Structure 1
Amino acid sequence: MSAHPLLLKYLAELASHPLRTKAITTGTLCFLQEVLGSTIARVPVQTPAKNAPSVVHLLAALNIDLKALKMAIYGFLVSAPMGHFLTGALQKAFAGKTGTSAKIAQILANSLLVSPIQSAVFLASMAVINGAKTVDEVIKTVKAGFFSVLRVSWVVSPLTLVVAQSFVPLDLWVPFFNSIQFILGTFFNVQVKKLRIAAAKKAEGEKKEKEDDSSKD
């Protein structure tokens, strides 16, 4: 069965302009990931002012906010270039090596060198996107979440890399990994948003209880 014409066109663009194509793809997927996460988790939408432009109301109805735009910028300017150079270096280091020992070495190099860098940069970027204003706040966020994110990466990355090495042609690695990252990213995004909503409701309930107790006194 021949490949879909759109996939062939995408692969041609990927071959001709790899960094630009990856940046546009990752930026778009990060944007969609944030919008889908908010929609699935049913995050309350901040209602625009009545006199706001109609486009603002339309964006709010679609769960598109400033954070979604920031995620698109992160994907375009940070995630894609970083993945392009790190993965490219890994592929060059193991180019032409198809033996079992080479495949295991590639997985280890990805887990011990690439994943820690990507995890740290991801957490630092998320800290900034979520409002961190100082270097100290960014460092605290990275320290707090580094090993949690890295553990997930150490499980997911080797499995996807084994599948890619065994079943996916090299020229399809980029769309394959993008698909996996998009699915997992959306899932984790939804879970985090649900936890935040639950925590906010709990805090609001506790605050109301305190107010009721103090009014009784």
Structure 2
Amino acid sequence: MSAVNKRNPLLDAYLRNLVANPLWTKAATAATLQFSQDALASAIAGARPRPGKAAPLHEKALAKVSADMVSVKMAVAGALVFAPLNHALGIFLARLLATRGKTGTRAKVEGILANNLIAAPINTVAYLASIAIINGARSVDGVLALVQRGFFGMLKMTWMISPVAMVIAQKAIPPELWPLFFNFVGFVIGTYMSARVKKARLAAARAKKDPKDPKAFDV
């Protein structure tokens, strides 16, 4: 066991659970990260929830940490959609690459390509479709419209960052810490994109309310 694990019993316990109960551990992690990501993005974008005096108690409690029911729904999506999907794709890609029997640099390149050409597009569609439903889309056309608008922009960002993150992981991060590293990378990307969306919505609302407000164009 590495010295890092010996110094960090919580990390050691997390990694043990990740091996013993991978899907449950990934689901709990995804739920926590999605909730935190949405709340942090709201704070960054200046879109903190402001429930009224008559708002339910749970809304007031969530607002204290810059969260709302969207944050809760994102946590549910993380646990029930994103985590199982990532888990299944990870198993599929591992088996696919194992059948090729490649090692060394070529295997690493194939791993990066497989992740970007297979896993990334599927995860992007699942994420955007979930966002659409959580934010009120109730028809297939409504969901598809949001997916089409955001697909290539989000995928392009993934293609830019994912290979760099993969190379860093392969060269500098112990394999047992890869899940935490990639969770961190995903959290940063997700927070950035969510903050941009929230800021754009806030600007659109301001423009609709007061077209002369200079902040309406500050995106």
Fold match (TM-score > 0.5): yes
Counterparts of 1:166 and 1:131, CA distance in 2: 43
Please, which moves more after superposition, 134-143 or 159-168?
159-168
> What residue is the counterpart of 1:128 in the other structure?
133
Q: What is the correspondence of 1:36-185 to structure 2 with a 5 Å cutoff?
A: 36-50=40-54, 52=55, 54-95=57-98, 97-185=102-190
Aligned partner of 1:32 among 29, 36, 43? 36
Quick check: which has more Rg, 1 or 2?
1
Q: Which of structure 1's runs of 4+ aligned residues deviate more than 3 A? A: 52-56, 92-98
Structure with the greater relative contact order (CA < 8 A, sep ≥ 6): 1 or 2? 1
Superposition deviation, residue 163 in structure 1: 1.4
Query: SS at 2:211's partner residue?
Result: helix
* Paired letter, 1:133: R
Q: Is the 8 A contact 2:34 2:75 kept in 1?
A: yes
What runs of 5+ residues in structure 1 fail to find an aligned partner?
209-217
Note the C-alpha offset of 1:33: 0.6
Backbone CA RMSD of aligned residues: 2.0
| Structure 1 residue 91, shift from structure 2 partner | 2.7
Q: Which moved more, 1:197-206 or 1:72-81?
A: 197-206
Structure 2, unmatched stretches of 5+, are 214-219
How many residues align? The count is 207
Q: Secondary structure at the match of 1:63?
A: coil
Q: Paired residue for 1:6?
A: 10
Instruction: State the partner residue of 1:214.
Output: none
Cα distance in 2 for residues equivalent to 1:72 and 1:18:
18
CA displacement 1:90-115 (0-9 Å, x = unmatched):
23333574411111111111111111
Q: 1:160 to 1:54 in 2, by over 3 A?
A: same
Q: How big is the shift at 1:171?
A: 2.1
- C-alpha contact 2:59 2:68 (8 A) present in aligned 1: no
TM-score, normalised via structure 2 length: 0.87
* Paired residue type of 1:62: V
Whether the 8 Å contact between 1:48 and 1:56 is mirrored in structure 2 is no
Q: Answer whether contact 1:37 1:187 (CA < 8 A) is retained.
A: yes
Residues 1:62 and 1:2: Cα distance change in structure 2 (over 3 Å)? closer
Conservation of the 8 A alpha-carbon contact between 1:48 and 1:60: no
2:50 partner amino acid: Q
